Amino acid sequence: MTGAAGAVVLLPFLGAAAGLLATRRTWGDAEPPGTISRAAHRRAAWIAVLPTAVSAALAVWLLAYLWAGGALPRGQASYGPGFWAGGLPGVVEGTITVIRTGSVPVTAGLRVDGLAALVAVLVTVVALAVQVYSVGYMREEPRYPSYSAFISLFTSAMLLVVYAGDLLVLYVGWEVMGLCSYLLIGHWWEDRANSRAAVKAFLVTRTGDVGFLFGVFTLGAAAGSFRIDDVLAQVPRMSTGTLVAATLLLLFGVAGKSAQVPLHTWLPDAMAGPTPISALIHAATMVAAGIFVVARLYPAFLGARPALDALAVMASLGMLGAALAALAQDDLKRVLAYSTISQLAYMAGALAAGSDQAAIFHLLTHGAFKALLFLCAGAVIHAVGSNLMSDMGGLRRTMTITFPAMTIGFAALIGLPPASGFFSKDAVLAAIEHAAVRQAPLTDAAAWLLYGCALLTVAVTGAYATRAWLRTFFGDSRVQSVPLPEPEPGVAHVWDGREAPASMLWPIGVLAVPALLLGFAGATTMIEWSTAAISLVVALLGAGVVYASWRADPAADPARVLGPLRAPCERAFHVDAVYHRIFVAPVLWLAGAVARTDDTVVDGAVRGSGGLALGASGLLRRLQTGNAQLYLTGVLAGLIIVVVGAVVLG
């Protein structure tokens, strides 16, 4: 079975290698610079799609094998609480090799349990949908071969994180994902804003990864092993101080990768990348990794109450603040970006409240409906030629497939039945409510803060999702009849509001099914109807306020309901400006000071030494007269001085 898991990870990697090596020029094509032939595009598409499709099929087969209760290797058992452990009892583990690093070995192996199997299916299915979607979306992009190859590498890295049986192996996949996000966000690097967004994402996530690496080292050193099974087995014997230190350090990396407060600012700017990349990052890779790692190491976090309190505060600020920011954005992709921050904070809140079951349940449903929403947004942008909702409107009449699909996605995001988000969001809210009532595993203040922010976020989510739905598909059409500047270079735009091509619609149709129905998988054991009723009423209240505002004046932006809060919400509470003053401006000043010091001191010293050498060479030049008698006299005089000195000095 571990061979199948290895193939799931390796196939996208091989696709990435082939895609980078087998470029259009190595195949003998002779297109003008800046273009790509249909044949080259088709080759790159097959190289990208086929390995990902096989990987997805194998991931589904592994999930089915565990679901059927596959044979357990002797001495192995599933670990950790959660619905995946109860419903998926099988565990398959294989060690490739053991590498000695001092006294702590590194196990280069894979481990497949229910949690890994479920998340791997999410990753591969969404990655496959993105690859197929990109064939049509990027059909005029000359760098499509490298673009699709980096998607495959991104997918492989996330799968390595999911299947890793060792913390250091997991960290390798963790870091490769950071590199891939940099390359894909900055795909159109010619635009300085895009390159800056890529650099920002790289630096912010790397900041968190420093803490994450030290957290891995702390756990490994305390357990005497980096194997995840060994680490979790040693958790009961670790001191509270060790667990608190390790988990708080890990939370730095989680905050960076999963875009949580205070390291969340990179994710909205990451919308500079192609829209399919946004779907991949927001639904199945990168941001999902942080939540997955906390669930994977959950016993360690349960033993560190201060870490859970910190996670609860992060989640509280992130879910409500990001939802308010989403309500004020005009860029459709930025609305969805802030929505992702908010929804990931819900998952973090469930983990803080003691329910990894609810967190993973919402991770799965969110992956389905958020991928659907981003791909639908890409279809809208493809048709309209603009990211701004102020340039949209009335699209339900022409986009007859995208409209119902995106409606399903927004319903799941709000938490309306029977969409998947209704069930998973109820599970999260129920877990947070129970933590507030029994104050476990959180302190009283952290639990009630989390519960209050969660309920408020339900209302704001209903408001911003309804606003985006109305502004995009209803009212008078604001689509321009003339070509607009391309929001994404190399993307084939229609500019008339018509439906996207079939290669983009098929993934949308496929993802609409789990976005609508996946919630029923956990409904029988996770639903609490009283909590569900409260959250539904609160969500409808937020949606109703926005709808009433829109009905009063369909031409106006319903975000006016924010009143004086609209400006700070639109700028995401000026967090970027604060960071610029605290971190960026001092670094720029220091760099300037170093440059000035270099010019004054270092360059001055170099120029001074050059002048000294020039002066000394002038003096030596005067001694070179060309008179041989003078040279001989000097040699004899020197010899006499040496002899006399030797006699005098004994």
Q: Which string of DSSP letters, residue by residue, matches 302-315?
A: HT-HHHHHHHHHHH
Residues 453 and 588 in one domain: no
Distance CA 157, CA 55 (A): 13
Distance CA 638, CA 68 (A): 101
3-state secondary structure 408-466: HHHHHHHCCCCCHHHHHHHHHHHHHHHHHHHCCCCCHHHHHHHHHHHHHHHHHHHHHHH
Residues 414 and 556 in one domain: yes
Contact between 235 and 303 (Cβ < 8 Å): yes
Tally of CB atoms within 10 A around 4: 15
- Positive/negative CA dihedral, 266, 420, 376, 469: negative
* Burial profile 44-67: b = 16 or more Cβ within 10 angstroms, e = fewer: bbebbbebbbbbbebbbebbebbb
Residues 631 and 534 in one domain: no
Q: Among 513, 533, 562, where does a domain finish?
A: 562
Residues 615 and 471 in one domain: no
Residue 163 lies in a domain: no
Q: Tokens standing for 406?
A: 């995106």
Residue 599 lies in a domain: yes
Residue 309 lies in a domain: yes
Residue 1 lies in a domain: no
Residue 82 lies in a domain: no
Which domain range does residue 537 map to?
Answer: 305-477+494-562
Residues 558 and 601 in one domain: no
Give, as one character, the DSSP assignment of residue 97: E
Residues 533 and 593 in one domain: no
Distance CA 420, CA 413 (A): 9
Q: Among 562, 593, 612, where does a domain finish?
A: 562
Closest CA to 266 of 208, 214, 192: 208
Q: Which residues pair with 101 in a beta bridge?
A: 104
Distance CA 441, CA 438 (A): 8
pLDDT of residue 81: 35
Residues 372 and 508 in one domain: yes
Residues 351 and 375 in one domain: yes
Residue 511 lies in a domain: yes
626 by Cβ neighbours in 10 Å (0-12 / 13-18 / 19+) ranks as: exposed
Closest CA to 177 of 12, 56, 314, 378: 12
Q: What are phi and psi of 482, to 5 degrees?
A: -115, 155
- Positive/negative CA dihedral, 298, 281, 135, 331: positive
pLDDT of residue 86: 38
Distance CA 435, CA 445 (A): 11
Question: Alpha carbon 329 to chain centroid distance?
Answer: 20
Q: Which residues pair with 107 in a beta bridge?
A: 98
Residues 453 and 592 in one domain: no
pLDDT of residue 30: 47
Tally of CB atoms within 10 A around 169: 23
Residue listed under structure tokens 């020197």: 638
Residues 458 and 388 in one domain: yes
Q: Tokens standing for 309?
A: 């309190």
Residues 399 and 459 in one domain: yes
Closest CA to 303 of 218, 245, 255, 357: 245
636 by Cβ neighbours in 10 Å (0-12 / 13-18 / 19+) ranks as: exposed
Distance CA 514, CA 283 (A): 13
The number of helices, as runs of H, and strands, as runs of E, in the chain is 27, 2
Query: Largest Cα–Cα distance of the chain, in whole Å?
Result: 115
Alpha carbon separation from 474 to 336, 373, 470 (Å, rounded): 18, 17, 5
Q: Are strands 92-101 and 104-112 parallel, antiparallel or unpaired?
A: antiparallel
Distance CA 78, CA 112 (A): 10
Q: Among 531, 562, 593, where does a domain finish?
A: 562
551 by Cβ neighbours in 10 Å (0-12 / 13-18 / 19+) ranks as: exposed
Please tell me the total count of domains within the chain: 2
Residue 488 lies in a domain: no
Q: Tokens standing for 611?
A: 């002048």
Residues 528 and 602 in one domain: no
| Spans of the chain below 50 pLDDT | 24-30, 71-89, 482-485, 494
Residue 109 lies in a domain: no
Distance CA 560, CA 566 (A): 7
Distance CA 364, CA 158 (A): 15
Contact between 155 and 52 (Cβ < 8 Å): yes
